[in-house]
Amino acid sequence: MNLTGRTAVVTGGASGIGYAVAARFAADGAAVAIWDLDLHKATEAAERLRQDGCSASAYGVDIADRSQVDRARDATNDDLGVPTILVANAGKEYFGSFLRTSQEQWDEMLRINLTGTFHCCQSLVPGMIEQGWGRIVTISSSAAQGGREWMTAYVASKAGVIGLTQSLARELGPKGITANTIPPEFIDTPMLRQAEADGLLGESIAMHEADTPVRRVGRPEDIAGACAYLVSEEAGYVTGQIIGVNGGRRG
């Protein structure tokens, strides 16, 4: 996919799915802004991309804080150009029984996963409208499609992301902007490995691979490939869609 001349923002872009997406976009010619809560890791990630001859910059951003989002947008505009691509990937998981989930934990999931995505979209969409072209890809969760025990707050927040994305697709389509969501299923990321270490996945990741039709755990690059298509010119007629990247796995 040729993204030359485009500027892309990838939130949570310092590691895992976010970094794979940032690396793919950079390889495809985009100038990439890595927004991440951890500025140190984001800086290291951007430097790796620059060493490969790509254009990338790092910004420390708490997406739950609108003022930080707007400052990062302004800095990205100055450094790389107006972003017309957004992959809203930053998020946080929470495991816990419904009855023991505190309001603080519930609010945190909504604030980061849903409101944070709202902030990023609302901050960047005006620039896309001015350019007459835009691509939004949100990273939701397969858990939001069928529910998941011990993850009520997380699932609710990610289900909200799906609804937000589909509504944006309807409202922004006439302005040349598409919006789609990818609900990953069992992708090998630091977050998944931590869940395995905490005993939250049953016996092991390998056990779940046997239940996946393609017989392997997903890779961040699998998500990056789908994102690359969705932000391309070729995907201009694809909007409001839930694009499953799951190896045929269902829950």
Is residue 196 pLDDT above 70, yes or no? no
CA-CA-CA-CA torsion sign (20, 194, 107, 244): positive
154 part of the active site? yes
Query: Buried b vs exposed e over 154-167: b needs ≥16 C-beta within 10 Å?
Result: bbbbbbbbbebbbe
Neighbours of 103 (CB within 10 A): 8
Among 56-70, 157-171, 189-203, 224-238, which stretch is predicted with the lowest mean pLDDT? Answer: 189-203
CB 42 within 8 A of CB 60: yes
**Residue 202: its pLDDT value, please?**
64
Residue type, 211: D
Q: Where are the alpha helices (DSSP H) in the chain?
A: 16-27, 39-51, 66-80, 103-109, 116-131, 143-146, 152-172, 190-197, 205-209, 220-230
Residue whose pair of structure tokens reads 């709202």 in the numeric block: 118
- Among 19, 59, 94, 154, the active-site one is 154
Q: Looking at the domain assignment, is residue 71 inside a domain? A: yes
In a domain, 243, yes or no: no
Residue pLDDT, tens place only, 113-135: 999 999 999 999 999 999 999 99
Domain assignment present for 113: yes
Spatial contact of 32 and 55, defined as CB atoms under 8 Å apart: yes
Residue type, 127: G
Q: Is the pLDDT of residue 194 over 90?
A: no
**Model pLDDT for residues 77-108, shown as the tens digit of each residue:** 999 999 999 999 999 999 999 999 999 999 99
Domain count, the chain: 1
pLDDT recorded at residue 150: 85
**CATH classification at residue 43:** 3.40.50.720
The mean predicted confidence, pLDDT, of the chain is: 93
Q: Is residue 210 assigned to a domain?
A: no
C-alpha–C-alpha distance, residues 143 and 49, integer Å: 32
20, part of any domain: yes
